[in-house]
Amino acid sequence: MENVSHNRPVVQPPGETQQCPVCNATVPVLRGYTTWCEQCGWNVKPYDPYPPRNVFEAKYAELGKKLSRQLLERMRDEKNLRPALTPGLIVAFAVASLVQLLTLSIALFGVWLLFAGYCALFILGLFCLVLAWALRPRIPKERKDGIASRSEYPALYRLADQVAEAISAPPVDVIRLDGRYNASFWLVGWRRKRVVVLGLPLFSILTAQERVALLGHELGHCVNGDVTRKFAVRAAIDTLVSWHGLFHPGSIWRGAGRYQGVGGLAMIPANLFMLGVAQIAKLWIFALVNLTWSDSQRAEYLADALGAKAAGSAACVALLEKFYLRDVVNMTIDMVALNPNSNGEDLFAELRRCTGQVPEREWARIRRSQGLANSRLDATHPPTAYRLEFMHAHQVLQPTVVLSEADSQEIERELSEVSRDIQKSIVRNRLLIIG
């Protein structure tokens, strides 16, 4: 399969057909869509839209390549789809506590050095305190932008509450709306408020039941036992990633710029020391990945099961497929942004039109790409093919929550005002990127 740089799909020049560069088969060319070969699979998945962002996700994805199939086989046959406390989780919490204890020890050591009475130790003490501050546990802050209040969006919150009740989850505290083609769930602030973030480009193209499925999956993270969302473990992971990024020198020897000659040689011992510290952090990250991977991946399957319980399995499968329309969405945003007669307010209508007219050949490519073992929504999700197989094994034909046409229209009316502002923001940001 050909890889493409810059995270852009391969779109061939307009034409009726072209020859596959791998097997020489004649393949159709559709303007604006990825050209691919159904015979040999060339260009089915031309690039990875969600590469690992740090050393934790890289290790996570690496472990997933080895163990994902085994976990699926267990989950496919499991009857009790509930979170459970495992020995691995207990050890993970212990390791996470040790990481935070190390940060606290650095801070206390820095305080002791400050009062040791020596100038050189005073400077070292300040360094320790600055380092401890940089590596402190960070609690996700509650953002004020894009908040949809209960008073202004009663129908949207009513749907969220119905979904939460259906899957035995606590009600959401805050719903935020933004311009991403995504959705997410967060625990924020010292009070650990439950926040669901809905990206309107995605939410706008979903059917009523697909919206229920999306909320079911995201709210499922309240009750699916995902250990990586627990504060102690998440804080330890973030601290270790910070350690690794802060100390990793990049290379032992830099033979250019100000590090030429003797200066470069003098930096080698310091770089070796920093690399050693970075590798220690990497080993701890590897330990946490091994301890949490199985339970975290299991939690994602449980979130899928909860989404299916709320909306039905068919809606969950359709929702997964629409996540793979990102290229169509980006192409539509570019088209609207570059249209001099558009002010951005028709963007979501255009997204619904374009995603509703995706040719069957593109859907065939998407479904085939979903079947690849390395195809997943991001580094921390199970392979999409395995998620689909899991949902097939645990089919839910009758949804618990059915969004009526009247309620769906009321939600559309509530979103109409904020949609205009978000659409303009998306177009404005896209124009800045395009230049």
Residue 22 sits in the same domain as residue 137: no
Residue 201 corresponds to which tokens in the numbers above? 């480009």
Is 70 part of a structural domain of the chain?
A: yes
Is 331 part of a structural domain of the chain?
A: yes
pLDDT at 323: 92
Residue 39 sits in the same domain as residue 93: no
pLDDT at 265: 67
pLDDT at 260: 53
pLDDT confidence of 370, banded at 50, 70, 90? confident
Residue 225 corresponds to which tokens in the numbers above? 């036992």
pLDDT confidence of 262, banded at 50, 70, 90? low
pLDDT confidence of 15, banded at 50, 70, 90? low
- Number of domains composing the chain: 2
271 vs 207, residue with greater confidence? 207
pLDDT at 63: 82
Encode pLDDT of 265-275 as tens digits.
667 777 788 88
pLDDT confidence of 288, banded at 50, 70, 90? confident
Residue 173 sits in the same domain as residue 286: yes
Average pLDDT over residues 14-39: 88
pLDDT at 143: 83
277 vs 365, residue with greater confidence? 365
Is 52 part of a structural domain of the chain?
A: no
| Burial 221-231, CB ≥16 within 10 A → b, else e | bbbbbbbbbbe
Average pLDDT over residues 321-347: 83
pLDDT confidence of 7, banded at 50, 70, 90? very low
**Which of 27, 47, 67 is the C-terminal boundary of a domain?**
47
DSSP 141: P
Residue 340 sits in the same domain as residue 385: yes
Instruction: Flag whether pLDDT at 264 surpasses 70.
Output: no
Q: How many alpha carbons lie under 13 Å from residue 98 in its C-beta half-sphere?
A: 11
pLDDT at 1: 34
Is 98 part of a structural domain of the chain?
A: yes
Encode pLDDT of 318-327 as tens digits.
999 999 899 8
Residue 295 corresponds to which tokens in the numbers above? 């339970």
Residue 40 sits in the same domain as residue 140: no
Is 125 part of a structural domain of the chain?
A: yes
Q: Which amino acid is at 384?
A: T
18 vs 261, residue with greater confidence? 18
Q: Among 46-50, 290-294, 309-313, whose mean pLDDT is lowest?
A: 46-50
Average pLDDT over residues 43-66: 80
Q: Among 33-47, 113-127, 210-224, 401-415, whose mean pLDDT is lowest?
A: 113-127
Is 103 part of a structural domain of the chain?
A: yes
Residue 408 sits in the same domain as residue 314: yes
CA distance 196 to 187: 9
pLDDT confidence of 345, banded at 50, 70, 90? low
Residue 367 sits in the same domain as residue 394: yes
DSSP 172: P
Instruction: Flag whether pLDDT at 376 surpasses 80.
Output: no
Q: Smallest Cα–Cα separation from 338: which of 204, 422, 419, 433?
A: 433
| Residue 291, number of CB atoms within 10 A of its CB | 23
Residues of the domain holding 7: 1-47
pLDDT at 12: 41
Instruction: Flag whether pLDDT at 261 surpasses 70.
Output: no
Instruction: Flag whether pLDDT at 280 surpasses 50.
Output: yes
Please report where in the chains the tokens 């046409």 appear, as a residue. 405
Give the mean pLDDT of the chain.
Answer: 85
- Which residues are 279's β-sheet partners? none
pLDDT at 167: 95
122 vs 253, residue with greater confidence? 122
Instruction: Flag whether pLDDT at 182 surpasses 60.
Output: yes
Encode pLDDT of 153-171 as tens digits.
999 999 999 999 999 999 9
Are the C-beta atoms of residues 196 and 170 closer than 8 Å to each other? Answer: no
Select the highest-mean-pLDDT range: 84-98, 206-220, 224-238: 206-220
Q: Which amino acid is at 421?
A: D
Instruction: Flag whether pLDDT at 209 surpasses 90.
Output: yes
Residue 42 sits in the same domain as residue 162: no
Residue 43 sits in the same domain as residue 99: no
Q: Among 68-77, 130-139, 352-361, whose mean pLDDT is lowest?
A: 130-139
Average pLDDT over residues 406-422: 91
Instruction: Flag whether pLDDT at 252 surpasses 80.
Output: no
Residue 140 sits in the same domain as residue 17: no
Residue 133 sits in the same domain as residue 196: yes
Residue 172 sits in the same domain as residue 212: yes
pLDDT confidence of 8, banded at 50, 70, 90? very low
